[in-house]
Structure 1
Amino acid sequence: MILSPPPAPAASAATGYRLLRTPPEPVRPPVLDADQRAVVEHRDGPLLVLAGPGTGKTTTLVESVLARVRAGTAPDRVLVLTFGRRAAVDLRDRMAARGLAGLHASTFHSFCYALIREEQSPEDFAEPVRLLSGPEQDLLVRELLAGQPALEREGLGRVRWPADLRAALTTRGFADEVRAVLARTRELGLGPDALAAFAARIGRPDWTAAAAFLDEYLEVTELGGMVDYAELVHRAVLLARRPEVHERLQRRYDAVYVDEFQDTDPAQLRLLRALAGQGRTLVAFGDPDQSVYAFRGADVNGILGFPEYFPRRDGGPAPVRVLRASRRARAGLLAATRQIAARMPLPRLPAAAVRAHRAPTALAPGGTVAVRTYPTPGAEVESVADTLRRAHLEDGLPWHDMAVLTRSTAALAPLRRALTSAGVPIDLPPSTCLLYTSPSPRDRQKSRMP
């Protein structure tokens, strides 16, 4: 029998070009240090890994999962959770590059949504739960607040806001405060009755009204088949605590890995205790010095109390490992950041682990830190653009080795104009590009002109 080679891809009749598949580049296994290998070799029980920026925590997580799968665990029996959507996508890409197909890596909210859908009855499954976005929840809260004065005048309203707050019911700031109270209440696992009892005990009539508003809000969202992010995790925790669901989840997963553990809130911590408590295998990676999402409900006590929250099967506290080699920051920058971090206490963690975490080793020498102040925001962005341009033209530093960090996206527009005017190429992530901006009053007036 004669084997002929497969035919070449046919060229397009219109263009004359043909598409060729680009072979994937081979991925070389990373070289792990002793601290990373100790984490990779962990097989049973809880483990907390303290890892600062650039210490290779995500690489260690991927290699730990790979080692577990190669030791005989099926990929679908390992659950990997992380905080943000982009981090979950990056984790899946890196695991796929290492040959980990079929692994479940997702955000907490994605996992909770899948769990709720899985446990719905056949009648309810036909109508999927709709997850409210932040702007949608804000609009719903503001509409409910705006309608309460009229309901109260007719004697139909259940919410009795204090007199000094009624004038603020229609303001955006008050709606944001109410949203925060609703989210924190559900993250703590409280319902309207528990919040009302707590408000009565400490004498807070505003919280008593918030408890009644929470009851009304939950009723409206339930009737509309809607759920917000805090309520999503709360419902998943209640499901995971049911004996039959709890047993199924424990049979389904042999190990749970968590990235960016310092960003978890109390509800997510309760979910993990339901999934991987009782001494089961839970490997959490995080850095308490990077806990910056308290405004979203993140609680640094989750990582500080990990050894007690997730004890071993014998009842002892969970062990703590530290990744001490910093591959990203040079020695000068690392020393400056450690001086700042040393002022923040880390109670409840083993003292030896805290000392090791606060004294990482920089693998690259050099590096400087400069603090500059400017009289105006315009002078600041012009100086940033000039510094980058000089670094490229005079020092030969490639553009892709430079980065600019801003405190918020509001600073991106003037910074982008200054960099473009100076001839500095920019590369913005899609998430920071606004698709729509509100027109100014002058633009509105022009649009009304004939």
Structure 2
Amino acid sequence: MNTSSSDGHRTERRRTRTPDAYRLVRTGPQRVDPVVLDAAQRAVVEHTGGPLLVLAGPGTGKTTTLVEAVAARVEAGADPARILILTFSRKAAVELRDRTALRLGGARAPQATTFHSFCYGLVRSHQDADLFADPLRLLSGPEQDVMVRTLLEGQRRIRSIHWPDDLRAALTTRGFADEVRAVLARARELGLGPHELSDFASRTGRPDWKAAAAFLAEYLDVLDLQGTLDYAELLHRAVLLAERTPAMSSLYDAVYVDEYQDTDASQLRLLRALAGPAGRLTAFGDPDQSIYAFRGADINNILDFETSFPGARVRALTVSRRSSAGLLAATRQLTSRMPMPRLPAAAVRAHRALASTREGGRAEVYTYPTAGAELDNIADILRRAHLEDGVPWQDMAVLVRAGGRTLPQMRRALIAAGVPAETDGTDIPLRHEPAVAPLLTALRTLALAGPDTPLAPAEPGAGAEAEAGA
């Protein structure tokens, strides 16, 4: 008797000595048959020499092409341990790892990981055991925020760093701490240390950046004392190791990168060190989807691919299986206004002239005088689609630009209009959760009032009314 599990493995229940007893035998995953590829995808899969940039728009089968390219190398005799797949999120890495493993059947799958996970393993493997008895620990975003604000508060009190007078009053504000964190991250992404940042500040006449350079030196000292790293420093140290270790350039026979348009300056240097002179790199990306400049992503990495990796070729996937012809026509009106210099004109034309396997579809544009009017009309459009056209709620989606600020307002507006709304919990900061925000407000009020302020006694029945109101 056979059963199947969610990860694609079969579990067999076999009778043993007694009729009521079974033992579970886990068998290997069943091999997934190769998919049918179009001509553009086959050209990418069959490419084996020199660096390659694949312009892959939405729904063009980018992940499928990447998996098939890896499978083709392994089936041709390549060692899976010498193939590396890099992406940006844990979810994407797990998906690539699982799909590659299923495609290869019982064969060993190559390493598929995020940039940060790969860099952590690299730094950890070269960690000086005499200096660091324990593994280096990565700081979370909130932990880094607390550290930066604590250091700024100390500098405000003892004036250990000479911040400009017009900035000193802002040292303890959250906004200033966020700006300092951004400066630290961008400096390390560009490979700048305290001395380089200070020299640059002197040449440009920026006393605020000179103070930031002194802060960076103190911040790095604290990280070393605590045995911790933030994400920008992790990448910076991994890049230095890769560039100073000649063997890194021959460690992998092939390196694949997903979402290449999201790479920053540090990640480009890392890839150049891993690819080596032979340029064993295949990068998939879409410059039209470059939206993470605020995180340090540099669109010039994809535009200057041929310069960064001499001898590189550029190809485009040309068939979209996800978007309808109407939607592609609408997006083409926008992308045609976005110049893509320094890339081959033929590849750019092929990339933007996608053919669709789905007919129909339309895109409508609305403008509103106020944010409130926009929310009300979005709710009205969704209600009409459900009540008049019979569209199920689960087939609708609302995309917002700034999740932290917009999602809570959008959710309230939809629920108030009778539209059921589900939001991804990872998109809403904890401080904005309905159950957490009132608690934080109460704690903030108590902190401002001081420890000696007596709390007003609750009136009879107030607790029940408050509970009912909540």
Which of 86, 102, 107 aligns to 2:91? It is 86
Which residue is 2:327 aligned to? 333
Aligned twin of 1:219: 221
Deviation string 1:42-65 (CA, Å, 9 cap, x unpaired) is: 112110000111111111111111
Within-5 A mapping of 1:309-388 = 309-311=308-310, 317-388=311-382
Shift in alpha-carbon separation, 1:441–1:32, aligned structure 2, 3 A: closer
- Is 2:411 the counterpart of 1:431? no
Cα distance in 1, alignment partners of residues 394 and 27 from structure 2: 24
Q: Distance in 1 between matches of 2:422 and 2:272?
A: 41
After superposition, the CA RMSD in angstroms is: 3.0
Structure with more contact order per residue of length (Cα contacts < 8 Å, sep ≥ 6) = 1
**In the alignment, residue 87 of structure 2 is paired with which amino acid?**
T
Report the Cα distance in structure 2 between the residues aligned to 1:27 and 1:449, rounded to whole angstroms.
Answer: 68
Distance of 1:189 and 1:251 partners within structure 2? 23
- Alignment partner of 2:66 out of 52, 61, 65: 61
**Residue 408 of structure 2: which of 399, 408, 413 is its match?**
413
Q: Could you list the per-position Cα deviations for residues 253-293 of structure 1 after superposition, in whole angstroms to 9, with x for gaps in the alignment?
A: 11100000000000000000100031231000001111111
Letter in 2 for 1:291: S
Measured against aligned partners, the alpha-carbon deviations of 1:315-356 in whole angstroms (never above 9, x if no partner) come to xx3000001111111111111111111111111111111121
> Match for 1:202 among 196, 201, 204?
204
Q: Return the alpha-carbon distance in structure 1 between the equivalents of residues 209 and 180 of structure 2.
A: 10
Larger CA deviation: 365-374 vs 251-260: 365-374
Q: Distance in 2 between matches of 1:123 and 1:61?
A: 41
Displacement of 1:378 in angstroms is 4.7
- Determine the structure 1 residue equivalent to 2:10: none
Deviation per CA, 1:60-87: give whole Å up to 9, x if none.
Answer: 1111111111111122211000122222
| Whole-angstrom distance in 2 between the partners of 1:140 and 1:440 | 23
Aligned to 1:265: 264
Counterpart among 240, 243, 255 of residue 242 in structure 2: 240
- Residue pair 2:250, 2:276 contacting (<8 A) in 1 also: no
2:133 pairs with 1:133 = no
Distance in structure 2 (CA, Å) of the matches to 1:25 and 1:424: 43
Q: Measure, in 2, the Cα distance between the counterparts of 1:449 and 1:45.
A: 75
Q: Counterpart in 2 of 1:294?
A: 293
- CA gap of 1:413–1:448, structure 2 versus 1, over 3 A, is farther
2:1 is the counterpart of 1:6: no
| 1:31-110 paired onto structure 2 within 5 Å | 31-99=36-104, 101-110=108-117
Relative to structure 1, is the Cα distance of residues 26 and 213 closer, same or farther in structure 2, using a 3 angstrom cutoff? Answer: same
State the 1:441 CA deviation: 8.2
Write the distance in 1 (CA, Å) between the matches of 2:350 and 2:456: 65
Q: Which runs of 5+ in 1 are unaligned?
A: 13-17, 312-316
Q: Report SS of the residue matched to 1:346.
A: coil
- 1:422 CA drift (Å): 5.8
Q: Which runs of 5+ in 2 are unaligned?
A: 1-12, 447-454, 459-470
The answer to whether the 8 A contact 1:277-1:310 is kept is no
Q: What is aligned with 1:401?
A: 395
Say whether 1:183 aligns with 2:185: yes
Provide the TM-score with structure 2 as the length reference: 0.83
Cα offset for 1:236?
0.3
- Does residue 111 of the first structure (1) align with residue 118 of the second (2)? yes
Counterpart residue identity of residue 220, structure 2: L
Q: Identity rate of aligned residues, in percent?
A: 63
TM-score (ref. length: structure 1) = 0.87
Match of 1:95, SS?
Answer: helix
